[in-house]
Amino acid sequence: MRLIVCDNQQEIANVGADMIAEVVAANPAAVLGLATGSTPVPMYQELIRRYEAGKLDFSSVRSVNLDEYYPLAPDNDQSYRYFMNHQLFDHINIDKNNTNVPDGLAADPAAACKAYECIIRDLGGIDIQVLGIGGNGHIGFNEPAEALDPLTHLTDLTEDTIKANSRFFESEADVPRCALTMGIGTILSARRIMLIATGEAKAKAIATVLSGKLTTFCPASMLSLHNDVTVICDRAAVSLCDEATIAALS
Ligand code: F6R
């Protein structure tokens, strides 16, 4: 695991965009694993800037998103499909037919989850997976629990997550109680992983991740099982880590 501590949002956005640009330069038809939430937005804006400047070409790029609320229609302005279109896809030259987000209206969610795994396999796997992290240590919607699901699955959201995400909805009651999410194994099968974390609210989870110990009660700690993970943080997100840990991973 490699740690990059940045001084501000723009530096985080640049480091993340550099990693994505490197993957796309190596393979113009790369498969990007993408996340929603507030954290990756500055990086998406940086990717848009580089596309507009003619430095990045997404015309052959494919993408798979981590998760989607369930049940929620793709055109609902709180859906992750809507988020991706508005925050990134509508502003770059990616072919939307090459973008994949789990189907928040699937009549048979179990079948849709199986089909999502097939999509990822048929794309040849994920070249780089972008992740944010919940204050409770979740990645995707893999919530802290006694046991974790390896593959894409339907899951209940925890009260913590419902509360944290209610800021995007009119009221807490409007937050869907379930989601379709890649599993921990799906995430770990990506060739490279980038985890971005900003703010003090992520400090406890990041300290657990960087400790290198595995616990299902911090699902992101499972990233220590992967051999190519880059954690990109601001100083607040590493504020509960000791200097020796930071120095060892930097
Ligand atoms: C989003 C996702 C979530 C978020 C996490 C952090 O697709 O899977 O795990 O990455 O909840 O969200 P923010 O960035 O809003 O703090």
pLDDT tens digits for range 53-102: 999 999 999 999 999 999 999 999 999 999 999 999 999 999 999 999 99
Residue 244 pLDDT more than 90? yes
Ligand 1 centre distance from Cα of residue 162 (Å): 12
Q: How far is the CA of 233 from the centre of ligand 1 (A)?
A: 14
Whether the predicted pLDDT of 227 surpasses 90: yes
Find out whether the beta carbon of 37 lies less than 6 Å from any atom of ligand 1.
yes
Instruction: For residue 67, indicate whether it is catalytic.
Output: yes
Tokens of 61: 């790029």
Q: What is the pLDDT of residue 208?
A: 98
Ligand 1 pocket, residue 31 CB under 6 Å: no
Å from CA of 132 to ligand 1 middle:
5
Mean pLDDT (whole number) for 162-189: 94
Ligand 1 atom 2: residue of nearest CA? 140
Percent of the chain whose predicted confidence (pLDDT) is above 90? 97
Residue nearest to atom 4 of ligand 1 (CA): 132
Q: Is 39 in the pocket of ligand 1 (CB under 6 A)?
A: yes
What's the pLDDT score for residue 118? 98
Report DSSP letters for the chain, one per residue.
-EEEEESSHHHHHHHHHHHHHHHHHH-TT-EEEE--SSTTHHHHHHHHHHHHTTS---TT-EEEESEEEES--TTSTTSHHHHHHHHTGGGS---GGGEE---TT-SSHHHHHHHHHHHHHHTT--SEEEE---TTS-BTTB---SS--SSSEEEEPPHHHHHHHGGGSSSGGGS-SEEEE--HHHHHTSSEEEEEE-SGGGHHHHHHHHHT---TTSGGGGGGG-S-EEEEEETGGGTTS-HHHHHHH-
Taking only the tens place, the pLDDT of each residue in 23-64 is: 999 999 999 999 999 999 999 999 999 999 999 999 999 999
Asked which of 1-10, 133-142, 160-169 is least confident by mean pLDDT, the reply is 160-169
Q: What mean pLDDT do residues 206-227 have? A: 98
State which of 44, 133, 159, 186 you would mutate to test the pocket of ligand 1, scoring each by most atoms of that ligand within 8 A of its C-beta: 133
The end-to-end CA distance of the chain, in Å, is 9
What's the gap in Å between 78 CA and the centre of ligand 1?
13
**Does residue 183 surpass a pLDDT of 90?**
yes
Residue among 65, 66, 165, 168 whose CB has most ligand 1 atoms within 8 A, to mutate: 66
pLDDT band at 160 (very low <50, low <70, confident <90, very high): confident
What confidence category does residue 168 fall into, taking pLDDT thresholds of 50, 70 and 90? Answer: confident
Please report the pLDDT score of residue 37 as a whole number: 95
Q: Could you tell me the two tokens for 13? A: 């956005």
151: Cβ contacts below 8 Å, ≥ 6 apart: 113, 117, 182, 183, 185, 186
Structure confidence by residue, pLDDT tens digits, 108-119: 999 999 999 999
Among 70-74, 140-144, 159-163, which is the least confidently predicted range? 159-163
Cα(109) to centroid(ligand 1), Å? 21
Query: Which phi and psi angles does 130 have, rounded to 5°?
Result: -90, 135
143 catalytic per annotation? yes
Reported confidence tier of residue 179, pLDDT bands at 50, 70, 90 = very high
Tens of pLDDT along 124-133? Answer: 999 999 999 9
Q: In the annotation, is 138 catalytic?
A: yes
